[in-house]
Amino acid sequence: MAIEHSEVVSAPPLKTSWWQIGIGAILASEIATALSLAFLFLCGGSGAFRLTGTSSGLLIYFGAAPLAGLLVGWLLWWLCIQRTGRTTVRRGVVFGALSGIIAHPIMWALASLSIGIVGQPFIREFSAPFQWVNQGGWLRLTEILYFSLLSLMYVGWITLLVGGIAGGLLIFFQQAHTQR
């Protein structure tokens, strides 16, 4: 007898699952980051180095992406799953895919805030004309949106797939746990 994926779990989503959602979001973000950077290296040679300026700038992605995934994942989990009380694998896939897409601008905003910590602009090509550290809010917002669109165009499909798979697996494991 197969598990019906569109069936609603009889119990409401577990309140203790917030840490599981957090770990799932962080792991999915790290996997998506590694796959995205690998894709950029394979397709464009040093494309990721050009975006970050140096190889040490790559570490920004591995810090900002999981934090963005965690924040977006928790928010969308509450909006799409917890608040509605409908826990289906289909909702989990949609929730995960949306998280993978929405996390891009949040990741770039977090990366732009980390410039003071790293001590160098993480986008060398644009550091002279824009000066990320000392710029106004509108210019910074424009650049965050610009790089969000670029990352969505090049690697958004990776974050969409990884997020969808992670969201579906989170619901699947939660259903398996509550049906015991």
Q: Flag the least confident range among 112-116, 149-153, 156-160, 173-177.
A: 112-116
What do you get for the CA distance between the two ends of the chain, in Å? 15
Which range scores top for mean pLDDT: 40-54, 120-134, 135-149? 135-149
For residues 132 and 126, give the distance between their C-alpha atoms in angstroms, rounded to a whole number: 8
- 142 has pLDDT over 50: yes
Verdict on whether the full-model pTM lies above 0.95: no
What is the pLDDT, as a whole number, of residue 177? 77
For residues 49 and 51, give the distance between their C-alpha atoms in angstroms, rounded to a whole number: 5
Q: Which residues of 117-154 are buried (b: 16+ CB within 10 A; e: fewer)?
A: ebeebbbeebeeebebeeeeeeebeebbeebbeebbeb
What is the pLDDT, as a whole number, of residue 20? 85
**pLDDT-derived band at 3, boundaries 50, 70, 90:** low
More confident residue, 14 or 86: 86
At 57-107, the pLDDT tens digits run: 667 788 889 999 999 999 998 888 888 877 888 999 999 999 999 999 999
Q: What are the boundaries of each domain within the chain?
A: 59-114+132-178
Average model confidence (pLDDT) across the chain: 76
What is the pLDDT, as a whole number, of residue 129? 38
More confident residue, 48 or 128: 48
What is the pLDDT, as a whole number, of residue 10? 45
3 state SS for the chain: CCCCCCCCCCCCCCHHHHHHHHHHHHHHHHHHHHHHHHHHHHHHCCHHHHHHCCCCCHHHHHHHHHHHHHHHHHHHHHHHHHCCCCCCHHHHHHHHHHHHHHHHHHHHHHHHHCHHHHCCCCCHHHHHHHCHHHCCHHHHHHHHHHHHHHHHHHHHHHHHHHHHHHHHHHHHHHHHHHCC
Kindly report the number of other CB atoms within 10 A of residue 18's CB atom.
Answer: 14
- 165 has pLDDT over 90: yes
Q: Flag the least confident range among 45-49, 135-139, 164-168.
A: 45-49
